[in-house]
């Protein structure tokens, strides 16, 4: 039965499905795809580990990866649905990073009445090629832009750390400051940039992502926190990453959520210089949410690498794609 079902799936999606319109592809997969995958999962008794969708002018290609142990791993250490919680702390290397990566998820969470907080770790002073703008002036501009953008998305509060843009700061000090904010806000979900993104080379993204990971562990340990003069602790439930190359959760977003993200990003005038005025970046953001939608059988979605507290320490299986669940 397994070979027949797999061949049927390949024949249906790869050979017979030849649709050029991107919107119709998304709608087709959303309506029809889920039913097909339920049938396959039942008959094959395997866990879906990955669904990769590529398309060109000729056809839509869907590639499936299976692992017979995937269901067992998932049952033991399930990947949480991050949209099911109440309080969120999004941590950014710079102003505008969250909006570019997962602004529509922020809009959705705020729309649903969730408490969303921002923590921006560096001041963004080097985020321009205009030599006529001083770093001190740009710091103020980008801070105001971030506050205006967060207000549009419905963010409850925005915190700023005093570290300078460019990665020339102590990672331990950064980790401690992040842990202090987590302990104060006590979020259910902590979300930062993925420092294990292979092509990433920006020092702030790498340092902040790693600091978030270590601060997440630190903030729940009372003795670690006391060692830096903090009596409060927090016990968040989920650690998640955006700007990731290995997503295991996709958050469904609506057109209105994305439109709100576009309006929010329009606040970052300093980051949209002429002649392009941010059009290329906006096109990337639009295509990204559509591609993530195709990968998760929604019209639009944001992508995250998500771990629960069992995954973050001594759990090699958490790195295995068998733990991934696109739906």
Please choose, from the candidates 165, 162, 194, 193, the residue with its C-alpha nearest in 3D space to the C-alpha of residue 177.
Answer: 162
Report the DSSP beta bridge partners of residue 304. Answer: 249
Please choose, from the candidates 40, 32, 38, 30, the residue with its C-alpha nearest in 3D space to the C-alpha of residue 9.
Answer: 40
Cα 89 to the center of its chain, rounded Å: 12
Q: What is the pLDDT of residue 250?
A: 95
Q: What is the pLDDT of residue 15?
A: 43
Neighbours of 220 (CB within 10 A): 16
Q: What is the pLDDT of residue 74?
A: 57
Report the DSSP beta bridge partners of residue 52. Answer: 63
Global pTM?
0.78
Q: φ, ψ for residue 219 (rounded to 5)?
A: -65, -20
Q: What is the mean pLDDT of each run of 10 residues along the chain (327 residues)?
A: 54 44 46 48 42 44 45 65 96 97 98 98 92 93 98 98 94 97 98 93 96 97 95 96 94 97 96 90 95 92 93 75 42
- Report d(CA 191, CA 194) in Å as an integer: 9
- Max alpha carbon distance in the chain (Å)? 68
CATH architecture assigned to 82-320:
3-Layer(aba) Sandwich (3.40)
Find out whether 193 and 242 touch, Cβ atoms under 8 Å.
Answer: yes
Q: What is the pLDDT of residue 73?
A: 52
Q: What is the pLDDT of residue 3?
A: 58
Q: What is the pLDDT of residue 37?
A: 47
Instruction: Tell whether omega for the bond before 186 is within 30 degrees of 0, i.e. cis.
Output: no
Extents of the domains making up the chain: 2-68, 82-320
Q: What is the pLDDT of residue 310?
A: 86
User: What is the per-residue DSSP string for 261-297?
Assistant: HHHHHTT-GGGS-TTTTTHHHHHHHHHHHHHHHHHHT
Direct distance between the N- and C-terminal alpha carbons of the chain, in angstroms, rounded to an integer: 24
């Amino acid at each position: 039965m397994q070979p027949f079902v797999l061949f049927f799936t390949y024949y249906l999606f790869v050979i017979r499905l030849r649709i050029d319109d991107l919107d119709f592809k998304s709608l087709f997969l959303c309506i029809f795809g889920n039913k097909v995958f339920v049938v396959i999962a039942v008959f094959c008794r395997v866990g879906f580990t990955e669904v990769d969708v590529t398309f060109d002018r000729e056809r839509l290609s869907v590639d499936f990866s299976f692992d017979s142990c995937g269901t067992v791993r998932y049952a033991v250490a399930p990947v949480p649905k991050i949209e099911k919680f109440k309080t969120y702390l999004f941590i950014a290397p710079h102003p505008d990073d969250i909006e570019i990566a997962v602004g529509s998820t922020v809009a959705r969470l705020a729309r649903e009445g969730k408490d969303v907080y921002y923590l921006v770790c560096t001041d963004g002073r080097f985020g321009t090629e205009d030599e006529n703008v001083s770093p001190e002036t740009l710091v103020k501009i980008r801070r105001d832009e971030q506050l205006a953008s967060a207000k549009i998305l419905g963010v409850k509060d925005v915190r700023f750390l005093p570290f300078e843009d460019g990665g020339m700061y102590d990672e331990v000090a950064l980790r401690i400051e992040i842990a202090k904010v987590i302990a104060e806000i006590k979020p259910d979900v902590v979300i930062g940039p993925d420092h294990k993104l292979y092509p990433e080379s920006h020092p702030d993204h790498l340092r902040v992502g790693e600091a978030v990971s270590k601060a997440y562990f630190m903030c729940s340990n009372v003795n670690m926190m006391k060692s830096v003069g903090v009596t409060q602790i927090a016990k968040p439930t989920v650690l998640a990453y955006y700007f990731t190359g290995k997503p295991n959760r996709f958050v469904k977003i609506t057109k209105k959520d994305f439109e709100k993200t576009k309006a929010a990003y329009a606040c970052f005038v300093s980051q949209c210089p002429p002649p392009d005025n941010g059009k290329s970046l906006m096109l990337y953001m639009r295509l990204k949410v559509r591609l993530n939608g195709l990968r998760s059988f929604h019209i639009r979605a944001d992508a995250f690498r998500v771990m629960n507290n069992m995954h973050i320490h001594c759990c090699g299986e958490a790195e295995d794609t068998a733990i991934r669940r696109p739906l």
